[in-house]
Amino acid sequence: MPQHKPQKKIPMRQCVGCQTSRPKKELVRVVRGPDGTISIDTTGKKPGRGAYLCPDPACLAKAQKKKALERSFEQPVPAGVYQQLADQLAAVQKEGTDAQS
């Protein structure tokens, strides 16, 4: 009788911008650290409260318009932070395309 390996459960997360559920590995984690700073967590292991975004600048724009990160982080997010996140997101996207080449 053949042995069937149980399939590993794939953790799913929801993008705060477009509300689409995707596998955790396909999304970018944005974290509010214990000191209150907001940044992109490329490792997925930084301490703090996290929210997930598709690696698409349009999703970041939607999240800003809907104040989704403010709700997730339970604090106001200054406009300058969104620009920093956009720059970091572009860098993450560039790393991803360089790795695929």
Domain 12-100: give its CATH superfamily: YlxR-like (3.30.1230.10)
**pTM confidence score:** 0.82
Question: Given this model, what pLDDT does residue 92 score?
Answer: 77
> How does pLDDT run across 14-65, given as a tens digit for each residue?
999 999 999 999 999 999 999 999 988 988 899 999 999 998 999 999 999 9
* Paired tokens of 70: 């403010």
Measured CA to CA, the distance from residue 90 to residue 77 in angstroms comes to 19
Rounded to 10 deg, the angle between the 79-100 and 57-66 helix axes is 160
Question: Given this model, what pLDDT does residue 71 score?
Answer: 95
Q: What angle do CA 44, 71, 32 make, to 5 degrees?
A: 35
Question: Given this model, what pLDDT does residue 79 score?
Answer: 86
